[in-house]
Structure formats: structure tokens, C-alpha cells
Amino acid sequence: MNHRSPPAPEPPDGGAVLPPGDAGVAQPGDFDAASARAGTAARFAVAVRQIEEGGLRFPLPGGGATGLRFAGLRGVAEEDLAVARLVEGHTDALAILAELDGPPPAPGQRWGVWAAEPPGEGVRATHDPTADAWTLSGLKQYASGAHSCTHALVTARTEDGQRLFAVRLDPAAYEPVPGTWPALGMAGSDTPDVRFDGAPALPVGEIDAYVRRPGFAHGGVGVAACWLGGAHAVAGALRRAAARRASPFTDAHLGAVDIELYAAGLVMERAAAEIDADPQDTGGGAAQRALRVRALVAACCERVLTHVGRATGAGPLCHDPRHARAVADLTVYVRQHHAERDLAALGAHVAGRAET
């Protein structure tokens, strides 16, 4: 999963076979990763259709309505964080294509942004000068929507450096790798490794244009909006517990959670206003702002998870499948924030030593 680490419009919701009578036989409420992926894919398709029809609005960042964009992402995430991961990728792709003059998406296309670059094989782009054509080969990790996206923006190595490419996900030259996302958290986001084998690709922007554009930082704040929506979803179990029975301990935890969510919401609103005031980052503050916002929202999520867990105990985790999934999903998704590594990057900005 990238960036990438965006109040809401209305959002779109295999175990082993054991002998009969065995206590381990899968029951209707048991977790099924394949079903989770299928359900998320269906809701993602509905969301994309609503975006095309104007029922869900995600204005481009920096266009004067960035707050609406972030609120929309937060709202989808509060309903279903895995769906939000795919919607965030699709809307980020639309913004990237607009910013880098890429090909405009056609109706019905569902886009992902696959730009994670962990250690490993990675993806290599090869240019055929005779045909003036590019192809991609290799392994891309954290490819959210691997089975449900029709197209993706993919970072790849070239002889001159990293470059972004638009790829149609044709099964003839592209395949998700089975068994590469065993996690329960974000299982619905369908984020395995994928392998390209000579996939035709169209370059989008020049070398390093993807990471050097102002929208790279703006997109990172959009991911934090999804995290915040996930935190609101987790907090729902605590709100329901407090409404059912008065307890000073439950109320204290709920008060602490309310402060966290309120403060993070204000920070998101401030960030949206700053992006709209300087969409091209002429002041040079976009990267530092994104690091600040992501760190603050990530810390908010971690504290919300702790408060809700301490206040409600094992009950909702064991008996409320929606809450259990919300906790598992947020725990995984917020790890897109790289903890002390990102804090060190922020500190370098504050100290005036950040690389430009």
C-alpha cells in the first residue's frame, strides 16, 4: 500500500473443509478472505460509478475544495476502510493523471496507484526504440485492488531513474501472486504482490516526476484522511458501550477519544485550507505539512485503538465482526506511517536539513 500514506458523502459494504460434526467447521459468520475481497470489489465498483455520475465527489486537491475531498475519503473509510483504500487509490490516480498530463480515464475504468518500493526485485521498464514502446516486467508489492482494478499507475526502474507508467491490467501480461497477502487486516483491499511479464505501458511524466510534483504530498494527507475515518469506525464500539451503560471509566475513555478525533479533524481541515492556498507548493511547505499531518493522525489512531480496547475489553473484538474487522483493518493500514523514520524526516525538515 502507497502514499500514499483523503463529514462525508454517502459511501458505497478459505477456511479448511473439516469433517461433519467437527467443532472447527466454518460457520456463516466466520472470516473468509475471498468473500471479503469479493464484497470490497463490488462496493468499489459501485463507488467508482457514483464518482463518475457525481453522486460521490472528490474534487482535485488544491482546487479550492480539498476539504470536501478529504471529508469524502474519511466518510468512505468510516463505513469500510478496505473500500476506502481502493477509492483513495482511484481518486489519487485521477489527480496524478490530471497533474502529469496523463491519459484521461474512460468511464468504467477502476484505477490503482502501485508505487511502493520496498527492497526486493521490483519492476523494470524497458524501452523499444524501434517501436517507441515501453513494457514492464518484474514484481510489484502492495498492489491494492489487484483483482478489481482495470488499470494502474505503476512506478518502475528505467536506465535513467524511476518513472511512472500507466498500465492496462491485461491477464496476458499481468498476474496477482497467490498467497502474498495472508493478513486478516485489510484483507478486503486485495493487496497481494503482482507480477508483470512484458506488460505494455505508457509513461506518465518524466523521470521522478511522480515524487517531485506538489500533489505527492497532498496525496499523502489524503491517506491520513482514510486513517482518521478508520479511527472513527473503531470508536463506534466505545460510543455504543457508553450509551448502553453509565460508567466513569468508559466515559473517561470516550472523552479521551473525542479529544483525539476532534483535534485530528481540525488538523485535516487546516491542511486542506493550506493546500488550497498554495496548490503548487510555491512556499515549499507541502512535504513538511504532510509529514506533520500523517504523524499526528497516525498517533491519534493508535491512541483510539488503545482507549477503545481498554474500555470495551475482548467482547466486541470476539463477538462483533464489524468492530473486529475495523480494528484489524486500521491496525494494518496505519502502518503505512513509518513511525520513527517519518518522525526523523519531519525533524530534518524542522531543522532545515531536508533534501529537496
**Positions in the chain whose pLDDT score sits under 50:** 1-28
Q: At 150, which CATH number?
A: 2.40.110.10
Whether pTM exceeds 0.85: yes
Confidence (pLDDT) at 94: 98
Note whether 89 and 119 are same-domain residues: no
Residue 35's pLDDT is what? 87
* Residue 305 lies inside a defined structural domain of this protein: yes
What does the block give as the cell for 222?
Answer: 489524503
Q: Is the dihedral of CA 310, 315, 319, 322 positive or negative?
A: negative
Whether residues 118 and 151 share a domain: the answer is yes
Taking alpha carbons only, the member of 32, 145, 5 closest to residue 83 is 145
Do 82 and 131 belong to one domain? no
Single residue among 190, 206, 222 that ends a domain in this structure: 206
- Grid cell 525538515 — which residue? 349
The domain in which residue 313 lies consists of 211-350
Distance CA 268, CA 34 (A): 34
Choose the final residue of a domain: 55, 79, 110: 110
212-233 tens-digit pLDDT: 999 999 999 999 999 999 999 9
Of the candidates 139, 168, 136, 164, the residue with the CA atom closest to the CA atom of residue 151 = 168
Same domain, 142 and 266: no
219 shares its domain with 305:
yes
The predicted structure's pLDDT at residue 293: 99
Residue 4 lies in a domain: no
Q: Is 191:223 a contact under the CB 8 Å cutoff? A: no
Q: How many domains does the chain have?
A: 3
Residue 1 inside a domain? The answer is: no
Q: Which residue has the cell 521490483?
A: 122
- pLDDT tens, position by position, 101-157: 999 999 999 999 999 999 999 999 999 999 999 999 999 999 999 999 999 999 999
Q: What is the pLDDT of residue 4?
A: 43
Q: Is 201 helix (H, G, I), strand (E, B) or coil?
A: strand
Query: 103 and 156 share a domain?
Result: no
Residues 260, 329 within the same domain: yes
Q: Count CA atoms closer than 13 A to 356's CA, side-chain side.
A: 8
- Claim to verify: residue 223 and residue 344 sit in the same structural domain: yes
State residue 246's pLDDT score. 93
Domain end, chosen from 206, 223, 254, is at 206
pLDDT of residue 31: 66
Same domain assignment for residues 289 and 305: yes
pLDDT value at position 280? Answer: 97
Average pLDDT over the chain reads 92
Q: What is the pLDDT of residue 150?
A: 98
Task: Say whether both 116 and 191 belong to one domain.
Answer: yes
Residue 9: predicted pLDDT: 38
| pLDDT score, position 17 | 34
Q: 130 and 64, same structural domain?
A: no
Q: Are residues 142 and 196 in the same domain?
A: yes
d(CA 87, CA 90): 5
Query: Is 7 among the domain residues?
Result: no
- Give the DSSP H or E segment for 121: none
Q: What is the pLDDT of residue 16?
A: 34
Q: pLDDT value at position 356?
A: 58
Please report, for the domain that includes residue 268, its CATH number: 1.20.140.10
